[in-house]
Amino acid sequence: MQEKLNIAVFVDYDNIEIGVKSTLRREFDVSLPLDALKERGDLVAKFAYANWGRQEGAARSMAENAVQMVQRLPSPRGDKNGGDINLALDALEMAFTHPHVNAFAIVSGDSDFIPLVNKLKEYGKTVFVVGGKAFTSTILQQNCHEFVSYESLLSEDRGQTRERAPRPQGLPGEQLARDNRPPGGQRSRPAPLDLAQAMPLVERALQVLERRAVQPQLGLLKSTMLQLDSAFTEKAYGANSFSDFVEKLKKADYVNVSGQGGRYIIERKGASSQSERPTPKPEEALPPLRDVLETHRLEMENGVLLDDLAGWVQTEVPQFSAAAYGFQEFSEFLNYAQDKLVVRVEPDEEKGPIVYMGAEFYPPAEPERAPEPHVEEEEDEKQPIVEGQPSLLEPNPPPVKPKPVRRARKPAASGNSADRPRRGGGGTRKKRPPEHHGPMQ
């Protein structure tokens, strides 16, 4: 039996509120994510972080839904990360001190919570993330156990319309980008995606279950699909439930469904029944966007409205469609492009999202080389030249040749030893008598 989930909900109100206002043109309704989370387990704790002195209407809604409001004290420098740190610390403290809480829900689109999500998963907790696909980091969507998109929680008759001043009409392409916006500026649930775009994930999940030798029933198939892609939701394809989604796949002749009484078995069909045309990948939508950004580089320097950029894309690339790449709206596509550093999107409550060129178009400059230190050369005193020693200033003198040693010459040798003069007393020589020149006496 599946373990019962006791869910603790943490709402980053400032982030989710401005995200919903700027991208969906709606007021954030905390009851929508709470109702969606109740379908997944029991909500044992609910906290929301904001400066509630400026949020009177929101404070009333939080009280009606029994959400405990935690005051976020603004710092003198207006640093919003202080509240994010409080939320992360409180969530980790609950993970250690409340062992019965085995699931956490982070209602925010801020990528700063990625370390918190990873740490909670490390401690064996199930993590849900609730946010808009148009402003929640795709990295955060892919690293939780299940991502619940705020767009999928909207219905045609819910939400309050925000009155906005009419904007002046621009180029024909800009007007074309605004044609799908309902009166009053409010955006309803986006158009559903084509079922063919869900088939790669369905095929992969069915193959995983086949390798495990497990019958692919409804609940098991959905849990496997969420393991492979936590951002999957059947509502993106126009289905109100997963069984409705499978029924649509059956009618479209994508899968075989057998069984009855709620125990349906889903089997994949052969490769021959699948479309020969491969489904475009999301990264393949980036080159056309890069071309448009380069064309309007000067306008992009100061930022442009999302609707204006969408109009430029539709005018210059008429065949482009964000839905063909798996994005329900153009804003969702720009959110993906932001994580790829192609654009930078800044939310604005009144004007809507403002788009700038991303870091990809501003490569970091090469670091300047440090100037080499100047070393003053000292003049050396002239060294004396010593004969026979090397010198730095003069070439080495030639080596001194040693003086030859004169040896006594030996007499020539002969065969008769008697003819050799003898030294010492070997022989006597007769002395010649002295001559006298005077008369003898």
Residue 416 resides in a domain: no
Mean pLDDT (whole number) for 344-371? 84
Residue 224 resides in a domain: yes
What's the pLDDT at 165?
38
Shared domain check, 117 and 59: yes
Shared domain check, 81 and 27: yes
Shared domain check, 83 and 217: no
Shared domain check, 301 and 253: no
Q: Tell me which of 438 and 66 has the higher pLDDT.
A: 66
Domain end point (choices 317, 346, 361): 361
Shared domain check, 291 and 274: no
Of 192-196, 255-259, 342-346, least confident by mean pLDDT is 255-259
Shared domain check, 121 and 38: yes
Most confident region among 86-95, 270-279, 396-405 by mean pLDDT:
86-95
Domain end point (choices 228, 261, 279): 279
Mean pLDDT (whole number) for 238-261? 85
Give the β-pairing of 68-71 and 255-258: unpaired
Domain end point (choices 361, 393, 421): 361
273-311 tens-digit pLDDT: 444 557 788 899 999 999 999 999 999 988 999 999 999
Cβ atoms within 10 Å, residue 290: 16
Tokens 């370390």, located at residue: 115
What's the pLDDT at 179?
42
Q: What totals of helices (H) and strands (E) does the chain contain, helices first?
A: 14, 11
- Indicate if the pLDDT at residue 412 is higher than 70: no
The CATH number of the domain holding residue 52 is 3.40.50.1010
Q: Which residues lie across from 357 on neighbouring strands?
A: 343
The CATH number of the domain holding residue 319 is 3.30.420.610
Q: Tell me which of 412 and 230 has the higher pLDDT.
A: 230
pLDDT above 90 coverage of the chain, percent: 34
Q: Which residues of 392-418 are buried (b: 16+ CB within 10 A; e: fewer)?
A: eeeeeeeeeeeeeeeeeeeeeeeeeee
Mean pLDDT, the chain, whole residue set = 79
124-138 tens-digit pLDDT: 999 999 999 989 989
Distance CA 175, CA 173 (A): 5
Distance CA 116, CA 247 (A): 37
* H helix or E strand, kind and range, residue 61: helix 56-64
What's the pLDDT at 57?
80
What's the pLDDT at 113?
93
- Report the residue count for the chain: 441
C-alpha distances in Å from residue 409, one per residue of 406, 412, 413 = 9, 9, 12
144-186 tens-digit pLDDT: 999 999 988 886 444 443 333 344 444 444 444 444 444 345 5
7-46 tens-digit pLDDT: 999 999 989 999 999 888 888 999 999 999 999 999 999 9
Question: Residue 286 is part of which domain span?
Answer: 282-361
Tokens 């064309």, located at residue: 295
Distance CA 377, CA 371 (A): 18
141-155 tens-digit pLDDT: 999 999 999 988 886
Shared domain check, 19 and 131: yes
- Indicate if the pLDDT at residue 118 is higher than 70: yes
What's the pLDDT at 95?
95
Residue 123 resides in a domain: yes
Residue 420 resides in a domain: no
